[in-house]
Structure formats: C-alpha cells, structure tokens
Amino acid sequence: MKKKSLPPGLIVRLGKFVWTTMWQIMMSQLAPSNKTGDYQRPQSQFRNSIGDEKYPAAANRYRLYVGMGCPWAHRTLVVRALKGLENVIDVVVANPSSEAGIWVLGEASEGCQTLPELYQKAKPGYTGRSTVPVLWDTETQTIVNNESAEIIVMLNAQFNAWATRSHLDLYPKALQADIEAWNEKIYPAINNGVYRCGFAQSQEAYDRATTELFDTLAEIDAVLASSRYLCGEVVTLADVRLFTTLFRFDIVYYSLFKCNRRRIQDYQYLGAYVRDLYQLPDVAPTCDLEAVKRDYYGNLFPLNPGGIIPCGPEIETLNLPHGRENLTASVPS
C-alpha cells in the first residue's frame, strides 16, 4: 500500500516554523535587538589610551589583532598604513570560525590560539564579547583598547616619533569639530546602519535603518560634488571610518544585508570617492576582498545558510581613474 505524503502546505508551514524559531535563537546570539527588532551593538569594554602613564608610546611594544574581513579592524590597518607604522606596530590576523563562533588566531600569539583566550589572559574571568580590533601591550600583557574609533586616534597621534609619514595628521585640531560631526552622523546611519539593516528582526526596524542609511548616503554624495573629502581638501579619520564600510558595501552589504536600494558605484560621486581613498599610498594592501566575502558569506549562517560565497565583484575596478584630483592637490605622500 502506497504511503500518503504530507500535504505540501503542512510541510511548508512546519519548515517555516522550525526555521523561523531557529533563526530567532541564532540572531539573538549573533545580533541582540530591542523589543522593536532594532539591532543593538554592545559597547567595547577596554578603553585605555596610549600616552597614559601605564601605556607610554613606544616602538615595537604594541600589537594589533585584526580580522581582515572586519570593517572596524580595517580602520586601524588603514591608519597604520597611511601613517607608515608597519615597522612600529605588529599585526596578528584572526579568522572567524563558523563552527565555534569565535575568532581564531592565524598563528599562536602570547600563548593563545583564539581571541577569547587572549581576552582571558588580559582579564581572567572576562565574560564579554571577544572582538577585533585589539590593541595589545606586550609589556604588561593586557589589552589597552578594543574600540576602533579610539585606537585610530592613538595611531594617528602617539607614534609620530617612528612614523614614516609623521607629517600626515588625520585628526587636525582645526577640523576636529567637523570630523566628530561627521562621525556622529555616519556611525549610526552607515557604519552601524548596514548592520541595523542586515540584523533587523522586524520589517519596521529594517525600514527605519534603510531609510536612514540611504538618506545619509545621498547627503554625503551631494557634499562630495564640491569637496574631495568629507572635511575639505585633506583626508581625515572621518574618511577612514566611512571608507571601510563603503569598501564592503557593494561586495556584501548590498546583497547579504539587503542594502539593495542602490550600489555605491551607482552614485555620481561616492563611487569615485571610494576609488580615490583606495588609491591612497599603501591603502590597497589593507583591502582583502576575498577575506571580506569569506568572513561574511561563509560565517553569518543565519543570513546565508548555504554558505555559498559569490564569485564577484572584481576588485580591479577600484584602480580605475577617480577624476577627483581637480578638487584639491593635497594628498598623503
């Protein structure tokens, strides 16, 4: 006697119920949200500064732990490159593990194989998130800071005695108010905004995030029509903070995070602006396209259960002429 198969509608409803329930559990761990489904990014926990009595500026004393796919860690690599600090501050690369859900060090460091082990070494009993970037003090064997926005300020100012481009000031006093105004606008709407889109757990939360994201991108595109960089003729930390998000936008955020109203390359000025920043001295080697695709598509299981990594786009397009030289003659050298 032939067995009866389950009704297709029942299979669909059951599958949807199981997957939705599991998705909600996984997302609660990956991306905590509030009652309306808006993603809430946890605060960084280590907030000390180079230049304090305990952490004096010195060459070859401090180390950066980064993930090449992470935009927050990428900020620190860009500033390290622009300032010419490659021989002053070492870098250890960590890779996300899709199985363990943690950052695993590419090579053992400080007796640790994973980032959580490093955090425990710095603060035994630590129960918070173990994230990149980390600015580590090899002398006191602890984490100085794990907030990218603060680390890049330190890299810009505290190591000029050893920097090959000590003349380059990415946070000049005369522009600090403008830089911070841009940071306050860009962080919630764009830097964190793409995550608010991708990690939204309600339609309303997603709609709010996408509206703010693309309104702000349009505003910046209009500014860039007459200004080479956000604060005028010189590159600043505001540009660095924006660049590492825009570099990933068309690659992962447009599709994986559903930020698909418009690509960056479709804007009249933003696309050329990204190429301009990418072509600044020593920035391109910090941009690992394959790591970005692997870390996002291969590790964010709730957003891409199949783990299939797309073949494109081609990074060579970032080497095309940007045509923004006529807006200023002042670039890092």
∠311-316-322 over CA atoms, to 5°? 135
Catalytic, out of 171, 195, 267, 273: 195
What's the mean pLDDT when you consider all of the chain?
Answer: 91
Predicted confidence (pLDDT) at residue 183 exceeds the cutoff of 50: yes
- For the chain, the C-alpha Rg in angstroms (whole number) is 21
Q: According to the model, what pLDDT value does residue 34 have?
A: 77
- The better pLDDT of the pair 298, 21 is held by 298
Q: How do the domains of the chain map onto residue ranges?
A: 62-157, 173-327
Share of the chain above pLDDT 90, in %: 78
Angle between helices 237-248 and 148-157 (to 10 degrees): 130
Mean pLDDT of 23-50: 72
pLDDT-derived band at 78, boundaries 50, 70, 90: very high
Predicted confidence (pLDDT) at residue 7 exceeds the cutoff of 80: no
Which amino acid makes up residue 89? I
Q: Which CATH class is domain 62-157?
A: alpha beta
Helix (H) or strand (E) holding 105, with range, is: strand 103-109
Q: According to the model, what pLDDT value does residue 329 have?
A: 46
Q: Which CATH class is domain 173-327?
A: mainly alpha
Is 112 a residue of the active site?
no
Is 70 a residue of the active site?
yes
pLDDT-derived band at 24, boundaries 50, 70, 90: low
Catalytic, out of 39, 55, 62, 70: 70
Q: According to the model, what pLDDT value does residue 101 have?
A: 86
Which amino acid makes up residue 21? T
Q: According to the model, what pLDDT value does residue 63 have?
A: 98
pLDDT in tens, 208-233: 999 999 999 999 999 999 999 999 99
Distance, in Å, from the CA atom of 151 to the CA atom of 170, rounded to the nearest integer, reads 13
| C-alpha dihedral (17, 205, 301, 297), degrees to nearest 10 | 140
Nearest to 264 by CA among 293, 221, 320, 307: 221
Distance, in Å, from the CA atom of 295 to the CA atom of 318, rounded to the nearest integer, reads 21
Q: According to the model, what pLDDT value does residue 12 have?
A: 66
Residues 116, 100 contacting (CB under 8 angstroms): no
pLDDT-derived band at 30, boundaries 50, 70, 90: low
Q: What share of the chain is helix, strand, coil (3-state, %, to 5)?
A: 45, 10, 45
Residues 159, 57 contacting (CB under 8 angstroms): yes
pLDDT in tens, 229-275: 999 999 999 999 999 999 999 999 999 999 999 999 999 999 999 99
Mean pLDDT of 94-114: 94
Predicted confidence (pLDDT) at residue 22 exceeds the cutoff of 60: no
Mean pLDDT of 164-175: 98
Per DSSP, the three-state class of 18 is: helix
Q: According to the model, what pLDDT value does residue 326 have?
A: 87
